[in-house]
Structure 1
Amino acid sequence: MERRIYIIMTLFLGMLMNAQTGKVGIGTTDPKENLDVNGDTYTNSLYLRNPGEPTMTGGSFLATSANSLQLYNPNLETSGLFNYLKLSLTGISGAGLTDYDTKIDADKFLVVVHNYSFKMNDGTTNVALDYGDNGTNDNRQGSPDVTSFKSNGTWHIRARFTDSRLIALTSANPPRTYNNFTIDLYLMAYKRLITKQNITDINADLGGTNGSTQTINKPSGF
């Protein structure tokens, strides 16, 4: 019992001494802010007084004396909210990429493909498309099919062209089985931090118009 009282008094005196300098530290004897917690926290609610608009000063989400909400800086933290990934896959066949498992947890992250490129393994961009895989230059090509999708709890990537095969532009008679292509994928993985809304697909028939007079219902959760 005496040991518990001694520990409590020590913690109280430490907080009191820090409080006299205008800063309180929990789990640290050298607090850097008004309240500096070195460790995990558990709370039901978090309120910010006049957070204002985000600033470009870096740091974490904090209500500052300037009434602003500082942006999260992934270079200063151990777990980024916005993760930028470049995925380079070599030795791709002419069929392109059909189903590549990134192993990124679909329950914790949202993965979006925001850019991509098709090239040869040697780095050149001498890549063309053979529509219908018929070996004929018919000036036709399929639509790009580059997307991320969820499967078995992780994010998968598809990168190909519909009804078309990748061929080397410099080849007079491109072989049907070509396995010397590189696909660069630029991904954003957004960490699910607070809440998420499961939004169903939206389908709208514009009836041949340009869409300027069409209205769709607002998805639930917004």
Structure 2
Amino acid sequence: MGRKIYITLMMGLGLFLNAQTGKVGIKTDKPTETLDVNGKTHTNSLYLRNPGEPTMTGGSFLATSENALQLYDPNLESSGLFNYLKLTLTGVSGEGITDYDTKIDANNFLVVLHNYSFKLNNGNTNVMLDYGDNGINDNKQGSPDVAAFKKNGTWHIKARFTDSRIIANISTGPSRTFNNFTVDLYLMAYKRLITKHNISDVNADLGGTNGSTQTINKPSGF
């Protein structure tokens, strides 16, 4: 009687055991992994070994997002985990780029600007900087201000030089009125799969030192 009840329960749960392969399937008679669940699961505790590494079979990445597990499927996702983007902006003025909205969602992607170049729209690379925008060769230039930053939920780009105007070094002499530059921006956009923690900006005053003796509080979340 007890044996019949046990068999009935096993069938009711849809639990299948393949003794030859050592694999257990729930609601599947052909388990492909050690434990193969064809359906939803619920548990109070779950321990994972190396959750960020690719699986042995499919090369997929497993990550946590809030309280759910996600299995990255490149056939279903709208973009890859790592996206390389070349953004070319033409017709740029001598002031450079102060705020260009890439429209990339800041909640789902992390954007890093890793390289850039300035040239004329015809491809000529004879570009100079006029410090102070005064038409005088000051033998100096402002600091490059080229970065990706978040604003209103999307990633924005700035590409300019502080206190300097971009000018064209053409054969007839530097043209300060030239406003037809091309800026190439090379971006990496990382798709967020692991739950992110919003960490406030860290500001530290080094007091004119090289920073070797300074101590700041550890950022929250680390």
Using structure 2 for the length normalisation, give the TM-score: 0.71
Q: Does 1:158 align with 2:158?
A: yes
Note if contact 2:113-2:188 (Cα within 8 Å) is conserved in structure 1. Answer: yes
Question: Residues of 1 paired with 2:26 and 2:203: CA distance?
Answer: 53
Give the 5 Å matches for 1:1-222: 12=14, 16=16, 22=23, 24=25, 33-34=33-34, 46-49=46-49, 51=50, 54=53, 59-61=59-61, 78=77, 79-222=79-222
Structure 1 unaligned segments of length 5 or more: list them. 1-8, 63-71
CA-atom RMSD, angstroms?
Answer: 3.8
Larger deviation: 187-196 or 91-100? 187-196
Q: Distance in 2 between matches of 1:122 and 1:39?
A: 59
Query: Does the C-alpha gap of structure 1 residues 220 and 172 become closer, same or farther in structure 2, counting only changes over 3 Å?
Result: same
Distance 2:38 2:178 in 1: 55
Query: In 2 relative to 1, CA 84–207 (structure 1 residues): closer, same or farther, beyond 3 Å?
Result: same
Answer with 181-190 or 212-221: which moved more.
181-190
**2:159 maps to amino acid:** A
Deviates more, 1:138-147 or 1:30-39: 30-39
State the distance in 1 between where 2:42 and 2:181 align: 50
Q: Gaps (5+ residues) in structure 2?
A: 1-10, 63-70
**Counterpart Cα distance in 1 of 2:73 and 2:120:** 33
Contact 2:105 2:154 survives alignment (8 Å): yes
Structure 1 pair 117–75 and aligned structure 2 pair: CA distance change class (3 A): farther
Secondary structure class of the residue paired with 1:86: strand
Is 118-127 or 161-170 further displaced after alignment?
Answer: 118-127
1:208 deviates by 2.2
CA contact (8 A) 1:18 1:25 kept: no
Aligned equivalents of 1:221 and 1:96: distance in 2? 36
Letter in 2 for 1:185: L
Residue 172 of structure 1: how far off its partner (Å):
3.9
Structure 1 residues 131 and 192: CA distance shift in structure 2, 3 A: same
The structure that has the greater radius of gyration is 2
Question: In the TM superposition, what whole-angstrom CA distance separates every residue of 1:152-192 from its partner, at most 9, and x where no partner exists?
Answer: 22111000011111112234443333232111111122223
Distance 1:24 1:85, change over 3 A: farther
Whole-angstrom CA distance in 2 between matches of 1:30 and 1:87: 48
CA contact (8 A) 1:25 1:37 kept: yes
- AA at the equivalent of 2:60: S
CA distance in 1 between partners of 2:39 and 2:208 (Å): 58
- C-alpha contact (below 8 Å) 2:16/2:24 kept by paired residues: no
My pick for the range that moved more, 113-122 or 17-26, is 17-26
Percent identity between the two aligned chains:
72
Secondary structure at the residue paired with 2:215? coil
Whether the 8 Å CA contact 2:86–2:184 is kept in 1: the answer is: yes
Deviates more, 1:165-174 or 1:184-193: 165-174
Counterpart-to-counterpart distance in 1, 2:143 and 2:115: 15
CA distance, structure 2, for counterparts of residue 183 and residue 143 of structure 1:
17
Given that 1:59 and 1:73 are in contact with CA atoms closer than 8 Å, whether structure 2 keeps it comes out as no
Q: Whole-Å Cα distance in 2 between the matches of residues 39 and 91 of structure 1?
A: 55
- The structure that is strand-richer by fraction is 2
